[in-house]
A and B are shown apart, each in its own frame.
Chain A
Amino acid sequence: MLLLDYILGRLAQMVPVIIGVSLIAFLAIHLVPGDPIQIMMHGRATPETLAAAHAKLGLDRPLLIQYGRFIGNAALGDLGTSIIQNAPVSGIVGEKLGPTVFLLVFSSILAIVIALPLSLLAARRVDRAADHAIRLVGIVGFAMPPFWVGILLMLFFGIYLDWFPISGFGKDFIDRLWHAVLPSATIALFLAPILIQSLRASMLDVLTADYIEVARAKGLGEWRILVKHVLRNALIPVVTVLAVNIGWLLSGAVVVEYLFSYPGLGSLLVRAVGYRDYPVIQGLSLVFAVLVIVVNLLADLSYMLIDRRVLTS
């Protein structure tokens, strides 16, 4: 089947990308000065214990061999053992993956809920007051760094109004949603302006198409035309923007998670870098790479749902 071939082909493309990403991450982290054993021992390790620990962890071997070992084990599903926590990296990362995916999905939905009506309104009232206002607010929103927006949200909604918790993860689903509101809103406020901008532009583009005039000639109202005939055609560039931004979103999530003490991959990464916990950093870069690729693959597949022409070409 054509579709299956396509998906398999795309998955095969992941292999070189993952090797490249892991190699760069591996080299970069080893270029950063600092030693995990010294950090763990607060700089009080003697040369003998240091050498013994290095030998035990394999850190005395040449980099190339260390990398080869890592990638070989990773291929078998073993991401190594955390130097600091002394537990399998796959377990540590797996435990934090859920909360981060939850956060990303929640903030994407939130961003879409914000962006969709606003961009419809902007396209409907193009070059009029509502349109200008939406664009202005969008630029301001985009210009505010997420860590700062996060702090403002914490202060206002978390402390002053006391509506939402400002840290932690929560126990059941509702409680988790509850805890994710402020960090998700922080990410969504950054993402929504990008979505509004691209949705507005692509809707205005679609509005010039002949079939829009044909739709008007059928006696359809402007809102129906926007929602039925424009929006769906305008979605493709937006899905692309979302998918391209997933890498951005992940790095944004790192900051936001840390800010809100949200127990996801981001917080884990910040701590792992601080401790020079090489295996965890490597494992995380691998997971991030896979996430980005999978999201982009899902975006490509969703084009087929939006526009049937993609399926046949």
Chain B
Amino acid sequence: MAPLLAIEDLVVEFRTRGGRIVALNHVFLTVQAGETLGIVGESGSGKSVLCRTILRLLPTPPAEIKGGRVMFDGEDLLDAPEARLRQLRGTALAMISQNPATALNPVWPIGDQITEGLRVHGRIGRREARKRAVELLRRVGIPSPELRVDEYPHQWSGGMVQRAVIAMALAGGPKLILADEPTTALDVTIQDQILALLLDLQAASGMALVLVSHDMAVVAETSDRVAVMYAGRIVELADTRTIFREPRHPYTVGLMQSIPRIEGGAGRLRPIPGQPPSLADLGPGCPFQPRCAVASPDCATTPVAPVEIAPGHWSACLHPERVGALL
């Protein structure tokens, strides 16, 4: 079956005063209908740029889509005219943004914002919209939604607003939701509630979910497959079980070892040494090479591309066989 979303060879650059920055470097991905794909990586690895490119929300300029395809449901979003994109956004495609405190417009009631997409896409009238808003708020677990639908964002807590943002994403009955760090700005206890809610809703509706996170633990709990991003590239991609048991990229191992464990104590925490590279001046070789424990001299000079080392398991490492030694 053809995947719902298939990204091939996507290259996105930013023009800045300091020169051109390759924000997405030959990115490839597939998402099956109903699947959850986790995308992990440090800040600046290109996760958010990827989400915005899929929705075509990147401001161009400064961004520039240099190549590739983003096939969604049989249609290349990079070729789609703006009118078609507007039609897809808020219906088949939805986004959940990172910070609930700023995701809703402070001057309009919450219910109004949740169903605005539906009203604009001409599907329902005002009265029907209010009813739908109440239903959606009930679905995301807001108590007595009929009383709260007309309230304003500042009257709600961060966790509740994030539920409202999720309700907003659900409104159009999407086939794919892009959740860009949906829990990062929330308290730990609320984080788990929101993740559980997302997975419940996904199970109920059969939509696919792309869950972006910098937190390996969040992805481990929720995703069917995981893509690891570094310096604008996909460096490893596999199903969740494989990637945790048999990682084949040293950066993936580094991310896993920076998850704190209860039994380990602070001594077991092994941060990745060094800083992510500046995207403005990357050498010809592997971008992770300066921080890598198993790098060889040729890593700095030989260009690396992701290779399918086992069915469905991709790694962009010259020496994937050395990675096991790091565990």
Contacts and interface: CB of A to CB of B under 8 A. Distances in A.
Q: Do A and B bind each other?
A: yes
Given A232-B107, A312-B154, A221 B95 contact: no
Q: In which size bucket is the chain A interface?
A: 20 to 34
A95 interface: no
B91 A217 contact: no
A220 interface: yes
B97 A219 contact: no
B116 A218 contact: yes
A232 B57 CA distance: 23
Interface stretch (B82-90, B283-291, B294-302, B313-321): B82-90
Interface in A208-244: 209-211, 213-221, 224, 228-229, 232-233
B152 interface: yes
Interface stretch (B23-31, B66-74, B98-106, B136-144): B98-106
B132 interface: no
Contacts of A228: 108
B89 A233 contact: no
A42 interface: no
A217 B57 contact: yes
Contacts of A209: 102
A214 B165 contact: yes
Contacts of B120: 218-221, 224
A30 B197 CA distance: 76
A281 B15 CA distance: 62
Contacts of A210: 97-99, 102-103
A56 interface: no
B105 A229 contact: yes
B55 to A, nearest CB: 6
B168 interface: yes
B95 A217 contact: yes
Interface string A290-313: 000000000000000011110010
A279 to B, nearest CB: 47
B90 A233 contact: no
Contacts of A221: 86, 120
Contacts of B232: none
B154 A309 contact: yes
Interface string B164-201: 01001000100000000000000000000000000000
A-B complex: 7 closest residue pairs judged by Cβ atoms: A219-B90, A218-B117, A219-B89, A210-B102, A218-B90, A217-B95, A211-B105
Interface of A: 209-211, 213-221, 224, 228-229, 232-233, 306-309, 312
Given A216-B89, A217-B90, 18 more contacts: A210-B97, A210-B99, A210-B103, A211-B102, A211-B104, A213-B52, A215-B116, A217-B57, A217-B97, A218-B168, A219-B87, A219-B91, A220-B117, A228-B108, A229-B108, A233-B105, A233-B107, A309-B106
19 contacts: A211-B104, A213-B97, A214-B97, A214-B103, A214-B168, A215-B105, A216-B57, A216-B89, A217-B57, A217-B97, A218-B116, A218-B117, A218-B172, A219-B86, A219-B172, A229-B108, A233-B105, A308-B152, A309-B152
